[in-house]
Amino acid sequence: MLTDDELLRYSRQILVPGFDIAGQEKLQRARVLVLGLGGLGSPAALYLGGAGVGQLLLADGDVVEVDNLPRQLCHRQSDCGRNKAESAAEAIAGRNPGVRIEVIPRHLQATDLDQLLPGLDLVLDCSDNYPVRYALNRASRRHRVPVVSAAAVRTEAQIALLDPNREGPCYRCLYPDAGSDTALSCAESGVLGPVVGVAGSLQALEAIKYLSGCADPLGDTLLVMDLASLAFQRLRIRRRDNCPDCGSRA
């Protein structure tokens, strides 16, 4: 049951049709991993903490650098040199001390994911390399934990909710070749800060929709955005029978 202070804190979202007190209570029971606290993970984690998700696990092995600050809004100038997960945890706790936060100040390996995913309700994939995304995809399928995945570079972004419980497609269906050499990176190609802000905020929105049940999440759809022209497309993702992670070869 929500306290009077919680009813006041979350009053605006409780008023949203379909959300109500029941949706808030579902959020408070949720346990969510945010993998990566950079440009995507910063807004996503801040919004999830602000919305009252009960427990957040924050994982990142990188430290804050000065060129992160224009777009990674969890972190301040004084956080430079500090682990990103620790910096983000302090930012979230400063806004909502009622959220339980577990800091994992390292890069996660496949064995870590197999230990962490059981008992989670959702993972937000805010990482920036294919090997981590593929390892998370395999762990997600094994442990039946949905993943909200996003990516952004230059002025372009995309987001998808991949739910193994619906027997839908997985990340490897979307990107079948495990070739990190082909991935565009922000360090090499550049990115505008608000682009990752939009993508990370949409990750948080999809997570809140999924956890609370207040609206239908994306489902088997990839939302592709060109934020320079404000062009949005929704592309249907189909499951690949020959997918090495979820198809007949898995």
* Domain 11-236, second-level architecture: 3-Layer(aba) Sandwich (3.40)
- The pLDDT of residue 106 is above 80: yes
- pLDDT tens for each residue of 16-74: 999 999 999 999 999 999 999 999 999 999 999 999 999 999 999 999 999 999 999 99
Q: What is the 3-state secondary structure (H, E, C) of the chain?
A: CCCHHHHHHCHHHHCCCCCHHHHHHHHHHCEEEEECCCCCHHHHHHHHHHHCCCEEEEECCCECCHHHCCCCCCCCHHHCCCEHHHHHHHHHHHHCCCCEEEEECCCCCHHHHHHHCCCCCEEEECCCCHHHHHHHHHHHHHHCCCEEEEEEEECEEEEEEECHHHCCCCHHHHCCCCCHHHCCCHHHHCECHHHHHHHHHHHHHHHHHHHHCCCCCCCCEEEEEECCCCEEEEEECCCCCCCCCCCCCC
- The pLDDT of residue 187 is above 80: no
pTM: 0.94
pLDDT (mean) for 100-125: 96
The per-residue pLDDT for 181 is 46
The per-residue pLDDT for 96 is 97
Backbone angles phi, psi at 125, to 5 degrees: -85, 100
Annotated domain spans of the chain: 11-236
DSSP-derived pairing of the beta strands 122-125 and 31-35: parallel
- pLDDT tens for each residue of 26-42: 999 999 999 999 999 99
Confidence of residue 168 (pLDDT cuts 50, 70, 90): confident
